[in-house]
Structure 1
Amino acid sequence: MSADNVLHVGDSDFDSVVLKSDLPVLVDFWAAWCGPCRAIAPVIDELASDYAGRVKIAKMNVDENPITPGRYGIRAIPTLIIFKGGKVMDQITGAVGKGAIEAVLNRVLS
């Protein structure tokens, strides 16, 4: 269950949706079996609403899309990576609170 403004990306469309985006993109690398991933899902949905028009929020299921997580060295989930202009701006690993994610997003936006 995810918010209407959360994008779901895969290996096939990652470059076009994330790396070529005009807006910064937060990508949540997750898996269905991951408890901490499910725990932060409502936070990700809230951020998608809070930052609509300023940041794209995307989710990538690591079990269904192994290439991209491998490319970015994802070893633990959830991992959140913030991309801007096709480059990695910051990364958060583990289930953290909304405030910690907002602090990183606000830094990237400033």
Structure 2
Amino acid sequence: MNADDRGVATAWTASILAVLISVAAFTFWMGAAVATRHHTEAAADLAALAAASHSADGPAAACERARQVTVRMSVTLLTCRWERGDALVEVRSAVPGHLGDVGQAEARARAGPVGRPP
């Protein structure tokens, strides 16, 4: 080994470790994004079902029930409206990251009142 070769293994090892850490961080971030998306979709579904199940109380009370569901699930209710007897909701939540929120997940859902014929 001559003097020019000293430290080459250290440089290669540091480079490989940097790549592996970057891949791991990206994988964890993607996992968090997918989990947040699923959570947001579930919250939208539950909020729409909650609103539809309280449709007899009127649109305002039904949308308040949807808002309560979204608060408990830590998402933001963007819209709650009624179209031909169906509750339509839209929710949003932030994708968490080590450096703060790194994006938004949005979902929409629709549900009809309980007991209505198909």
**TM-score normalised over the length of structure 2:** 0.28
Which one has the bigger helix percentage?
2
Q: Which has the higher contact order (CA 8 A, sep 6+)?
A: 1
Structure (1 or 2) with the larger CA radius of gyration: 2
